[in-house]
Amino acid sequence: MTDTVADAPVLVTSALPPTVTARHRRPVLLWVLAGAVTVLLALPVVYVVAQATKSGWSEIVRLVLRSFTLELVWNTARLSVAVTLACAVIGTTTAWFVERTDLPGRRLWAVVVVLPVAIPDFVVGFGWVSVTPSVHGFFGALLVMTLALYPLFYLPVAASFRGADPGQEEVARSLGLGRMATFRRVTLSQARPALLGGCVLVSLALLAEYGAFEILRYQTLTTEIFFESQRSYNIPVASSLSLILVVLSLAVLGGDAAARGRGRVARSARVARAGTVHRLGRWTVPSLLGFVALTVLALGVPIGVIVYWLFNSGTTTLPASTSMVGAALTTAGYAAGAGALATLLALPVALLAVRHPRRSTRVLERSTFIVQAIPGLIIALALVYFSIRGLRVFYQSSPLLILGYSIMFFPLALVAVRTSVAQAPVELEEVARSLGRRPLEVWWRVVLPLVGPGLAAAFSLVFLSTVTELTLTLVLVPTGVQTLATQFWAYTTNLSYGAAAPYAGLMIAIAVVPSYVLGRWFNRLPARTREPA
């Protein structure tokens, strides 16, 4: 360093980038992109409202008040309540046994009780119906949907039992509460957000379900909308029923928000400590039997049926393996496309919400979650509606199907992307810049390694869900294209169970790999979040 420079510091302007306008940097680009995503996600809602206003409100009121419509609503509502309750009981009980008792083989059970989530609901229905046709109607639907959906309670509740502050239970005991009272008043209330989350997931899944109910011959709003729109082309009836369905789904979300607002779960202890483990003693064997029974019913029946058909059907009813490979490749291609697109769509929204936490960005982020309440069938009908009117080229095309999947599973992608974006706080980028790295290098060496696993998880979540998606696929799949789900469905509706089974088996097999990736990612999360205190 020479003194002349120190005396007259001269800024070498040619070496500088043109004036950096970061002075009042607003994330304009992010806002534009996130806004576009939000508009895209709002299309189904726009469709429902447009349809409703077109047919006129008096007509809608007339259709809604038909006794048949009321019966559909009653069918849908009572099944939703019954299944949600049953799932809550089974999910919470199994979670408590796995997380809080000395049940033998807890680590194995923790995996086994979650597995049914990888089996599509309509495959569970198929399994039971092919065992005995007496499984149908309300109780059939109750049985099948409970067995298919209880992991949606188990997962959040088990996580909450695992993470809950054991100090609160200890304090409750020291204040004179018994075991049961402590469980009721402390443990369950700690799990309250998880229970609410489970309720939302299960009831939304029930409102949107089509395949399983069709197999079980149980009529709900969704099955009727499918019938009216795809078979009898009675669009006014389909739209008015869609309106009711969307209102019910939004009511579920709204109820959840209202219930959540009333209680806060505070966790004061910073160091994670394992909860108290209860000794089962003489209850060990009955508890184990319960777990075995649940596994047989939820996993054994559908998987057993598939395996049975694979080995016991004549070769003539087995589909040609070439068509299976073709369908599998098509399915994987669609799923990969949907995974990539949904992850991409979620990025601007997640970046905006995490990097620029303001009231406005929070509202934007929340609004995208409304799509969660829109059944896949209605998303599909909306896309058909808009493509016929606006972009005829896209009608009955693969891109439209992939877009449909991406909209439907956007909330899944957003949750994972948001978590991963939060893994790479902006401070790390600043430090990397101060250490002499240019912005692109920083993205490559810091941001991507941190965000990457989460993006992979988002991709996998959407991939997994797309492989086993049936309803939206049936409506949007281009003519002549076969996916695993459509082939399975074609054979099942012909009652060719033997021919349908291999497709179900493949679907489950393809869905298992991403589940494994996801499991590993979620297991790695705590280690990550523990760093810099």
Task: List residues binding other proteins (CB under 8 A).
Answer: 1, 3, 5-6, 9-17, 19-20, 22-24, 423, 425, 427-428, 430-439, 445-446, 449-450, 527-528, 530-533
Determine the Cα angle at 489 with ends 487 and 494, to 5°.
100
Q: Which is nearer to other proteins, 318 or 428 (CB)?
A: 428
Q: Least distance in Å: CB of 10 to other proteins?
A: 7
CB 221 within 8 A of CB 207: yes
Q: Least distance in Å: CB of 187 to other proteins?
A: 29
Place of tokens 């995503």: 37
DSSP state of 282: G
Q: Least distance in Å: CB of 525 to other proteins?
A: 12
How many angstroms separate the CA atoms of 33 and 35, rounded?
5
Q: Least distance in Å: CB of 355 to other proteins?
A: 14
Q: Least distance in Å: CB of 436 to other proteins?
A: 5
Q: Which is nearer to other proteins, 9 or 281 (CB)?
A: 9
Least Cα distance to 26 among 18, 16, 14, 34 occurs for 34
Q: Which is nearer to other proteins, 51 or 423 (CB)?
A: 423
Q: Least distance in Å: CB of 428 to other proteins?
A: 5
Place of tokens 């003519």: 479
How many angstroms separate the CA atoms of 224 and 233, rounded?
11
CB 137 within 8 A of CB 204: no
Q: Which is nearer to other proteins, 22 or 266 (CB)?
A: 22
Least Cα distance to 97 among 5, 202, 183 occurs for 183
CB 320 within 8 A of CB 383: no
Q: Which is nearer to other proteins, 6 or 65 (CB)?
A: 6
User: What is the token pair recorded at 177?
Assistant: 């509460």
Q: Which is nearer to other proteins, 66 or 445 (CB)?
A: 445
How many angstroms separate the CA atoms of 432 and 442, rounded?
6
Q: Least distance in Å: CB of 1 to other proteins?
A: 5
Q: Which is nearer to other proteins, 6 or 29 (CB)?
A: 6
How many angstroms separate the CA atoms of 365 and 425, rounded?
18
DSSP letters spanning 447-500: IHHHHHHHHHHHHHHHHHHHHT--HHHHHHSPTT---HHHHHHHHHHTT-HHHH
Q: Which is nearer to other proteins, 185 or 528 (CB)?
A: 528
Cα R_g (the chain), whole angstroms: 26
Q: Least distance in Å: CB of 451 to other proteins?
A: 10
How many angstroms separate the CA atoms of 50 and 239, rounded?
9
Q: Least distance in Å: CB of 100 to other proteins?
A: 27
How many angstroms separate the CA atoms of 420 and 397, rounded?
32
Q: Which is nearer to other proteins, 254 or 526 (CB)?
A: 526
Q: Which is nearer to other proteins, 147 or 451 (CB)?
A: 451
CB 453 within 8 A of CB 420: yes
How far apart, in Å, are the Cα atoms of 261 and each of 152, 159, 370?
A: 22, 21, 17
Q: Least distance in Å: CB of 322 to other proteins?
A: 44
Determine the Cα angle at 489 with ends 395 and 462, to 5°.
65
